[in-house]
Amino acid sequence: MKQIIVSGSLAYDRIMNFSDRFSDHILPDKIHTLNVCFQVNGVTENYGGTAGNIAYALKLMGENPIISATIGNDHHKYFEWFDKNGISNDGITIIPEELTAGAYITTDMANNQITGFNPGAMKFSSGLDIEALDPEKTLLLVSPGNLDDMVNYPQLCKKAGIEYVFDPGQALPML
Per-residue pLDDT of the chain (175 residues; tens, 9 = 90+): 899 999 999 999 999 999 999 999 888 888 888 888 899 999 999 999 999 999 999 999 999 999 999 999 999 999 999 999 999 999 999 999 999 999 999 999 999 999 999 999 999 999 999 999 999 999 999 999 999 999 999 999 999 999 999 988 765 555 4
In the chain, domain spans:
3-174
**SS3 of 172, please?**
helix
Query: Which residue type occupies 108?
Result: D
Topology (CATH level 3) of domain 3-174: UDP-N-acetylmuramoyl-L-alanine:D-glutamate ligase (3.40.1190)
Phi, psi of 113 (to 5 degrees): -130, 145
Asked if residue 14 lies in contact with residue 43, where contact means CB atoms within 8 angstroms, the answer is: yes
Query: Which residue type occupies 158?
Result: K
Cα gap 150→90, rounded to integer Å? 20
The answer, as to whether pTM is greater than 0.85, is: yes
Residues in the chain: 175
Residues in contact with 80: Cβ distance below 8 Å, sequence separation at least 6, in sequence order: none
Asked if residue 69 lies in contact with residue 120, where contact means CB atoms within 8 angstroms, the answer is: no
Residue 167: closest CA among 137, 145, 134: 145
Cα gap 95→70, rounded to integer Å? 7
**pLDDT for position 169:** 77
**pLDDT for position 168:** 82
**pLDDT for position 26:** 87
